[in-house]
Amino acid sequence: MTNLDDLPGHLIRRLQQIAVSAFMAETGAAGFELTPVQFAVLAQLSNHPGIDQATLAGLIAYDRVTIGGVISRLEARGLVARRVSPSDRRARILKLTDEGARYLEAVRPSVFATQDVILKELTPEERETFLVLLRKLTDANNELSRAPLRRVVDETASD
């Protein structure tokens, strides 16, 4: 593997660049201003209303220190509501606003279209295999991440 194009890490980084570019193009063309991380926040808050910022960061494999800025931008747009946890004054409890839920549902078709753009050169069988392998690699190497994915959610957190 002396050629840069033979290094999996290089190709994964390039595919990430392509995926973000495709996401921004598809959602932007549909009139939305949203980053992939912001979409992940909205999607997880839809699935887990009332979770705290630290739990959300784990669910989307995002840095706990910088998630606050993402939340602040979404909150300023009226898409997310944040309040102090009644059980832990240091924690912030999050939920989608009604506007956030409408926005999420409206943007979903563009996000799904993005996946088709990214995978357009693969057959349906290749897509399935590719996703299986991606999940296998991300699951196996999760703890190597600076922001590992944490799938466990405390369902009692939905105050």
Q: What is the pLDDT of residue 116?
A: 96
Ranges of each domain in the chain: 8-144
Q: Residues 8, 14: contact at Cβ < 8 Å?
A: no
Fold (CATH) for 8-144: Arc Repressor Mutant, subunit A (1.10.10)
- What's residue 104's pLDDT? 98
b/e per residue 100-138 (b: at least 16 CB within 10 A): bbebbeebeebbebbeeebeeeeeeeebeeeeeeeeeee
Instruction: Give me the residues paired with residue 106 across strands.
Output: none
Per-10-residue mean pLDDT, the chain, length 159: 87 97 98 97 96 94 93 97 86 94 98 97 98 96 92 55
